[in-house]
Amino acid sequence: MLYVVIIFLCLSILLYLLLGGADFGAGILELITKSELRQNTRMLTYKTIGPVWEANHMWLIIIIVILFVGFPPIYSALSIYLHIPLLFMLLGIIGRGTAFVFRHYDAVKDDMQKVYNLIFTYSSFITPFFLGVIAGAMVSGDINPEATNFFDLYIAPWTSFFAISVGIFTVSICGFLAAVYLSGEETDQHIRRVFIRKARLLNIATVVSGGLVFFAAYIDGLSLMIELITQPVTLIILVLASLSLWLLWHFLNKQKTNQQKAVASRLVAGFQITMILLALGYHYFPDFLIMHNGVNLSLFNSAAVGKPITTLAWALILGSIFILPSLFYLIYSFQKEPES
């Protein structure tokens, strides 16, 4: 049953990055969109993400619950040593969620909208950035429970070059996903071209910032790159992701004139991100939190024993029976016909 829980955990992380990521990305896109097109981006975001954004956010809750029920030492260690970036991420989540709803449900449209927009866009940037920073800190080996001063205990782990570059990488991924996703929703050909251009730019940014992660790993003395390209499985996965770049650009090109091609672009974009996560997941599995002293917290040595895992697994299975079909139907219903 532990494997059931682990599968749900991995799946939730993947879905949060893909769906929640596209969600955050919409805010990032708005931030980098020229002012004359901003209103357009905003409406498109509202139309496409409005019905599902709360559901997208739920994957994070599932991750948190799985961690504290199933792997309490990991949850506890994260909460202690990454308290500060978690706090920033939390502030981002609050700002984003509330601003999104406030700006659409405020009965009066006036200058307050500017405030909501400001909060929405910047928190859309902050949240994935710190999410990435936290992920980077978790595998960097910089968390050191034996340290004795405040800086080494609570600041150093997440301010390394590596952790910051993972943060930047995550932001690029979110922006990229959102651009690909939204370009498929846009019916106006001219504006669609703008989105497609952004999707390409952000795709390049993703590749470059991915390179930055490797560079940072090298500078910080982590053997990430060597290990990823010397393990046959991760190497194959990364090669597949790279090869699909060509496909993506091809479909994006087609999509300029034919909106129907959007599905293909989306699938390829999703595939690329899934591959990156898969390669990293495969590389680090089962370690979840790599500590300075070499005593890593893994999904096996940190798992709760016995009944908690079994009941958690059943709760997840049961939950997914209810959730997945209705979530699918929700996404399907709002996809099948354009809003009247």
Partner 1 sequence: MDDLMAARSQMALSLGFHIIFACIGMVMPFFMATSHFFYLKTGDLNHKNLTKAWSKGVAIFFVTGAVSGTMLSFELGLLWPKFMEHAGPIFGMPFSLEGTAFFIEAIAIGFFLYGWDRFNPWFHWVTGLIVGISGLASGILVVAANGWMNSPSGFDYVDGKYINIDPIAAMFNDAWFTQALHMTIAAFVATGFAVAGIHALMLLKGRNVAFHVKAFKIAIIFGGIAAIIQPVSGDISAKDIAKRQPAKLAAMESHFETTKRAPLLIGGIPDEKNKTVDYAIEIPGALSFLAHGDFDATVIGLDQIPEENHPPVLVTHLAFQIMVIAGMIMVGLGLLYFFAAWRRKSWLNKKWFLTLFVAATPLGFIAVEAGWTVTEVGRQPWILYGFMKTSEALTPMPGITYSFLIFTLVYLSLSAIVIFLLYRQIKSVPELYSDNHSKKSAEPTQ
Spatial neighbors of 85 by CB under 8 A, at least 6 apart, are: 130, 133, 134, 137, 158
CB of 220: closest distance to partner 1 in angstroms?
24
CB of 231: closest distance to partner 1 in angstroms?
33
Spatial neighbors of 223 by CB under 8 A, at least 6 apart, are: 217
Which burial class, exposed, middle or buried, applies to 332 when counting CB atoms under 10 A from its CB (0-12, 13-18, 19+)?
A: exposed
CB of 57: closest distance to partner 1 in angstroms?
7
Question: In angstroms, rounded to a whole number, what is the distance separating the alpha carbons of residues 324 and 161?
Answer: 39
Q: Is 295 helix (H, G, I), strand (E, B) or coil?
A: coil
Q: Is 78 in the site for partner 1 (CB under 8 A)?
A: yes
Q: HEC profile for 111-176?
A: CHHHHHHHHHHHHHHHHHHHHHHHHHHHHHCCECCCCCCHHHHHHHHHCCHHHHHHHHHHHHHHHH
CB of 108: closest distance to partner 1 in angstroms?
5
14-73 binders of partner 1 (CB under 8 A): 50-52, 54-55, 57-58, 60-62, 64-65, 68-70, 72-73
Which of 1, 4, 101, 277 is close enough to bind partner 1 by CB under 8 A? 101
Which of 7, 80, 208, 239 is close enough to bind partner 1 by CB under 8 A? 80
Q: Is 293 helix (H, G, I), strand (E, B) or coil?
A: coil
Which of 39, 106, 204, 242 is close enough to bind partner 1 by CB under 8 A? 106
Q: Is 111 in the site for partner 1 (CB under 8 A)?
A: no
Which of 34, 36, 108, 187 is close enough to bind partner 1 by CB under 8 A? 108
Within 220-231, residue ranges assigned H as helices are 224-230
**Binding-site residue total for partner 1 (CB under 8 A)?**
62
Q: Mark residues 318-337: x for contact with partner 1 by CB under 8 A, - for none.
A: xx--xx--xx--x--xx---
Backbone angles phi, psi at 297, to 5 degrees: -90, 115
One-letter amino acid of 61: I
Q: Is 306 in the site for partner 1 (CB under 8 A)?
A: yes
Question: In angstroms, rounded to a whole number, what is the distance separating the alpha carbons of residues 232 and 234?
Answer: 6
Interface with partner 1 by CB under 8 A: which residues? Answer: 50-52, 54-55, 57-58, 60-62, 64-65, 68-70, 72-73, 75-80, 83, 86-87, 90-91, 93-94, 97-98, 100-102, 105-108, 150, 153-154, 304-309, 311-312, 315-316, 318-319, 322-323, 326-327, 330, 333-334, 340
